[in-house]
Amino acid sequence: MLDVLGEHPEAVEADLAHHYPGYGPGGPVAAYWRGEITLRWLRVMVEGLPPNGAVGRAVNGHAWQPETYAAADSRDLLALLFTAFVNANRDPKKPVMPWPEPGWRPGDPTPEEAEQQQVADRAQAKAAFEHITAQVLPAKE
């Protein structure tokens, strides 16, 4: 039974209850335990759950769908095209408009995480530099 529900049984149960409301209280899982449906039919229902439900969010760790990624890519491309148009048609005496940064995507670090990583990288680089210079430069007295 647990093999059918997978690694996120609560999300599966929530999706089943949402997409199959005709099975009464507890949804299809309760119907299975009451003997109203077979384990095979429960597995078929679980495998047929849509990717944008609770299971998809639990597995992916976010609610983004392919359409969301396409919209973000379109926004980034539009920003690039706008910047290229403005720079191509700008007054030569005016400064060039900087290229836009791509928008955030799931899995990208937040600005705070990126800043913390930069601080850690700088500290690591400084420690490595000091380690190397201590080996090649004469010791200070």
pLDDT at 33: 92
pLDDT at 136: 87
Mean pLDDT of 3-29: 89
Distances (CA, A) of 121 to 65, 127, 135: 33, 10, 21
Residue predicted with more confidence, 108 or 88? 88
Does residue 139 register a pLDDT over 80? no
Distance CA 134, CA 129 (A): 8
pLDDT at 5: 86
CB 45 within 8 A of CB 20: yes
Does residue 2 register a pLDDT over 80? no
pTM of the shown model: 0.61
pLDDT digits (tens, 9 = 90+) for 34-51: 999 999 999 999 999 988
CB 49 within 8 A of CB 12: yes
| Cβ atoms within 10 Å of 67's Cβ, excluding its own | 9
pLDDT band with cut points at 50, 70 and 90 for residue 141: low
